[in-house]
Each structure stands twice: as C-alpha cells, then as structure tokens.
Amino acid sequence: MLILGIESSCDDMAAAVVRDGRYILSSVVSSQDAIHKKYGGIVPELASRRHIETVIPVVEEALNQARVTLDEIDAIGVTHGPGLVGSILVGLSFAKAVSYVKDIPFVGVNHITAHPMAVFLEKIPLNPPLLKGDTGGLSHLTPSFPFIALVASGGHTTLFKFKDFGDYEILGQTRDDAAGEAFDKVAKLLGLGYPGGAVIDKLAKTGNASAIEFTRPYISKDTFDFSFSGIKTAALNYLKKTGDRFEICPQINDLSASFQEAVVDVLTDKAVFACKASKVNNLVVSGGVACNSRLRQKLHNKSKDHGIQLFIPEPSLCSDNGAMIAAVAYQLLKKGVRGELDMNAIPSME
C-alpha cells in the first residue's frame, strides 16, 4: 500500500511517500526558517500563506523522488492537529481535495503521537529489503509494545505509554514551555535566531556544562510532568546579572552547555523514571529536540545503565516530516478508519 503523508501543522511543509507503513520511498521537507528567523518565532499568518505556495511543489517533489504518480497512491495521511489552525488547514484541505478527485481514502493523524512512530520507518532507495530476523522486515530493530515514548519538540514535551499502535495513555507533559520552546527562547535571548535548538547544541560542544548553575526543575519526584520556563528565566537572570549584552555574552558557549545540560538531565531522568515506574524496558524518544547530540548521548548511557532498550529515529525523522504521518495513517487505514470531508483542524488535541 502506497501512502502519501502530508504534514503542515507548524512552519514546515512536508510530504512523503511510504510503502506499507514502513518503507520511505521519499521524504521532502520545505522549511520556513528563513521567513520566521527575523521575528524570533513563528508568525502564524506568514506560515499558512507560505504553505499555500509550497504544498503542491512539495507533494510533487515527494512523488517524483519516489518515482510514482498520484494515480499510484492508495491513500493519504494528513495531520489534522494539534498545531496552528491556518497551517493545518492548508495540508488538510489539499488532502481532502486529492482524496475527492482521485477517489482514494484519507485519514487525519495526530501530529504528536506520530513522532514516536518514526522508529518503525526505514529509508530505502527502491524495494523493501529482504526479511531479517524479528525486525519486522526492517534492517534495524523496532520496539515491542508496550513502550514508553518521550516526544520533545517545539510545541510539546509529553511522556506516553504506548500499548499498541494508536493505543496510548499520556503519563505526563509540560506544564509551561515545551523543551524545544525553551531552547528557542534562550537562543533568542542570546541573539542566535530561530529556531535555536541546533545552534545551542553546536555552541555547547565547546562549552563547560558545569560553568553556570541551573536548577533542574523536576517539579516533584512522583510526577511525569515537566516545567521548563524556570530554566529559561534563569538564563535571562544570569544574563541580566552579568550585565553582558546578550549578543556578545563572552560565556555564550558555557551558558549554552549549562542550560542544555539542565534540560537534557530532566528529559533523560523523567524518561527513565517513566520506564522504571511502568516496568517497561523499551523507550522511544522523538520530536525535534531528540536531534540534540547531548540528549542522544545521555539517553544512550542512562538507558544502558538501567537495562532499557532505547530507540531514537535518525535526526531527519525526529523533526517534523510526512513519513511519520504516513506510518500512522497506515495503521489507522488497516483498522478501517476513514476521514470525512467535513473533518476540521484541531489546534489542541491529546
């Protein structure tokens, strides 16, 4: 089954062609970073207007790279929430139109719960590889249910327990800023532009993570909830106290490393705590923040120490993409789910 996955919930327009919910034939992402950079964050109206210009070329590019035509597509998966309503509506309306004209089904997909599903995907140039052992046909291992999933992105920081495809419970989430949002806000304070996660990650590599004291906000030991706005404020207070102009803060690398370490510690500890408390030893971590090199390293070490099997998609599949949407769509279609033409965008959903 060939599924076209479309993702437009925020500032990226993404489309992918995925075979049987697993094999990525193509995955194209058109970023709007250059448009929003000067505002230090996403301007929703600009995002949706740009999506209108990019949706057709991005889908065409995904079809071309997969060497298929629209007539060969069996179904469409599209994000219908959560996210920016204007942005979601562009992808959703496009998917409905194609579904109607080509007489193929479409399904609406929850963006946040799609992030962990990227671990079941594999990029292949042409045909699926031969079946190998118990990997479900993929050349890499996949988690077994139940597993704990941490999604850390620009809009969400959520811990899930997945019992099966589409069958999950939310264990905890951020009470204020998302982890990626904290990275982006600190980057903005430092004049590093938007989005800031990858820049802080890079600067932190040559910084001293113990140079500046940041309290780790665990809220309390027995909750799976997060809070990141305090760390961001601590960074602001530090900058005010030292009296540096943010852009020329001489300790920019140390500040980046110390801030990053605090966020990474909390994410790692909570994810492992959720596995222990749930007696589950498979952990999936995804979302844009899962691209962070220090987070990947710490998760790897700590999971090993606790006998937890860790699964993190490759960076391009951690950040927003259409393939993860197609992966969920495949599971929903198998269950007989079909989208109706009156489906609406849902800005907040769990």
> What are the residues binding Zn ion (CB under 5 A)?
153, 320
Interface segment toward ligand KG4; rule CB under 6 A; list 17-25, 72-80, 139-147, 195-203: 195-203
**Interacting residue with ligand KG4 among 171, 289, 310, 327 (CB under 6 A):** 289
* Residues 226 and 173: beta-carbon distance below 8 Å: yes
197: partner contacted, choices Zn ion, ligand KG4, none (Cβ within 5-8 A by kind): ligand KG4
Joined tokens for residue 44: 């929703």
Return the residue of 7, 122, 177, 184 that touches ligand KG4, per CB under 6 A.
Answer: 184
- Tell me how far, at minimum, the Cβ of 115 lies from Zn ion, in Å: 6
The nearest distance, CB 156 to Zn ion, in angstroms, is 7
CA distance 115 to 106: 19
Name the nearest CA neighbour of 50 among 17, 76, 86, 82.
86
Contacts of 256 (CB under 8 A, 6+ apart): 186, 190, 200, 203, 204, 207
Instruction: Fill in the per-residue mask, 246 to 285: x = in contact with ligand KG4 (CB under 6 A), - = not in contact.
Output: ----------------------------------------
Residues 75-114 that bind ligand KG4 (CB under 6 A): none
Nearest CA to 7 out of 337, 344, 325 is that of 325
Q: Which residues of 264-298 are buried (b: 16+ CB within 10 A; e: fewer)?
A: bbbbbebbbbbbeebebbbbbbbbbbbbbebbbeb
Residue 313 interacts, among ligand KG4, Zn ion, none and using kind-specific CB cut-offs from 5 to 8 Å, with none
- Helix crossing, 179-189 with 229-242: angle to 10°? 20
CB of 289: closest distance to ligand KG4 in angstroms? 4
User: Quick check: 146 and 161 in contact, CB under 8 A?
Assistant: yes
CB of 194 to Zn ion, least distance (A): 15
Residues that bind ligand KG4 (CB under 6 A): 10, 153-155, 180, 183-184, 195-198, 201, 287-289, 291-292, 319-320
